[in-house]
Amino acid sequence: MTVVPFDKSTAIAEILATAPGIPTVFTTGFASRVAASLDDRPNHFYMTGSMGLALALGTGVAMASQQPTIVVDGDGSLLMNPATLLAVGTAPDLPLVHIVLDDGLYASTGGQPTPGRHAHLAGLATASGYQSVCEANNPSALRARLTTALDVPSAVFIHCPVQPDATPPRRRVTPDLPGVAMRFSQYVRGAAA
């Protein structure tokens, strides 16, 4: 049996297949580009700039909608703005699933190593008040953890150690950013109605 590497694209494909209708915010860089390339859906929000802010945005969505919301974050994005972990950890009953795809690299800026190897990301989440913290290091574990997390009425942190993608995603996200926001907003409002 061929062993398929658990890389960033594989993880994102697993997230899309497991939770196809859940509002999902993708962090800056390859995560957004991979998701848009795999399946450009109205429940996706692509954060093209504002590296480190996907988690804050997803927190606001989950807080106001009280509907399950997924943030697909990266180790580089999280380390750029770890203070957001506190906003999540101190919010009671936040229906947020925070998935961190940790490849140890700033993939979209040329693959420089992040300082993440010296940090315990799951420990940061626990220390910030997340009640539920787990790890997934293969696609079936990610599917299982995400499925469980979507039924948990408070924030869940899923740390995914992944291998870097061998090839970069093909295309950039659409330049129609107001269109991305409007489409996502309409989806979330429809889902909450």
Max CA distance (Å), the chain: 46
Q: Binder to another protein among 83, 93, 120, 172 (CB under 8 A)?
A: 83
59 binds another protein (CB under 8 A): yes
Task: Find residue 101's DSSP bridge partners.
Answer: 74, 160
Q: Binder to another protein among 20, 21, 60, 153 (CB under 8 A)?
A: 60
Stretch that binds another protein, among 54-62, 112-120, 136-144, 147-155 (CB under 8 A): 54-62
154 binds another protein (CB under 8 A): no
Q: Binder to another protein among 16, 19, 56, 173 (CB under 8 A)?
A: 56
Q: Tell me the one-letter amino acid at 67.
A: Q
Shortest separation between residue 48's beta carbon and another protein, angstroms: 7
Which pair of tokens denotes residue 83?
């203070």
141 binds another protein (CB under 8 A): no
Buried b or exposed e, range 44-71, using 16+ CB within 10 angstroms: bbbbbeebbbbbbbbbebbbeeeebbbb
* Phi–psi pair at 44, nearest 5 degrees: -100, 135
Residues 12-51 as x/- pattern, contact with another protein by CB under 8 A: ---------------------------------x-xxxx-
Distance CA 53, CA 9 (A): 21
Residues 89-108 within binding reach of another protein (CB under 8 A): 91
Q: Binder to another protein among 21, 40, 86, 174 (CB under 8 A)?
A: 86
Query: Whose Cβ is closer to another protein: residue 72's or residue 180's?
Result: 180
**Are 160 and 133 a contacting pair, CB within 8 Å?**
no
Which of 30, 32, 52 shows the shortest CA–CA distance to 40? 32
57 binds another protein (CB under 8 A): yes
Q: Map tokens 């953890």 to a residue.
A: 145
Q: Binder to another protein among 29, 58, 76, 95 (CB under 8 A)?
A: 58
Which of 148, 117, 144, 120 shows the shortest CA–CA distance to 132? 148
Site residue total, another protein (CB under 8 A): 34
* Phi–psi pair at 72, nearest 5 degrees: -100, 105
> Which residues form the interface with another protein (CB under 8 A)?
45, 47-50, 52-53, 55-65, 81, 83-84, 86-87, 91, 177-178, 180-182, 184-185, 188-189, 192
